Amino acid sequence: MVKTFKITPFIITLLLAFPVSPLADGFKITRVYDGDTVQAETPESVIYMMLVGIDAPELSTRPGIGSQAFGQEAKEFLSNLVLNKSVEVRGYGKADHPYNNIISVIYFKNRNINLEMVKHGLAEVQRDNLPPGFDIGAYLEAEREAKEAKRGMWSLGDKYMSPQNWRNIQRGR
């Protein structure tokens, strides 16, 4: 059984310093940027989190460039699940990019929100650069089922493009 702690500066340190932190509660999701990135607040701080193990379709922030198919749907679905709600977080350290987001799994009422995104076809499984201690087994099974059922982005069939490929194309513009 995982012990749940109230958020304190100590818990924030755990989320940042150790590869896998215990579950911590007291995070209120105050902004959803897209289908795999959120902002959370505690009484002490603002924290930016990337949902580990998933890669959701992208939203464009560049003028004249449209968003990826199902990008807005992924953001809306995630917003409906967690926006303005207190959640529990299991941290896996900091992301290796300029934003230094905490990579994490978000839980709401004992539901793994990262996994819910995959189950509904609104995120694919991230297979590379996973943190130590993170098991993608359930994610791979959920993705297989979503593909078979043609849920969400998987309904695009051959027209589907992974978020990574979409980002690479946008960088080339």
Q: Where are the domains of the chain?
A: 9-171
3-state secondary structure the chain: CCCCECCCHHHHHHHHHCCCCCCEEEEEEEEEEECCEEEEECCCCEEEEEECCEECCCCCCCCCCCCCCCHHHHHHHHHHHHCCCEEEEEEEEECCCCCCCEEEEEEECCEEHHHHHHHCCCCEECCCCCCCCCCCHHHHHHHHHHHHHCCHHHHHHHHCCCHHHHHHHHHCC
pLDDT single digits (tens) 13-55: 555 544 455 556 678 999 999 999 999 998 888 889 999 999 9
pLDDT in tens, 64-95: 788 899 999 999 999 999 999 999 999 898 87
CATH of 9-171, one of 3.30.1490.190, 2.40.50.90, 2.40.128.20, 2.60.120.380: 2.40.50.90
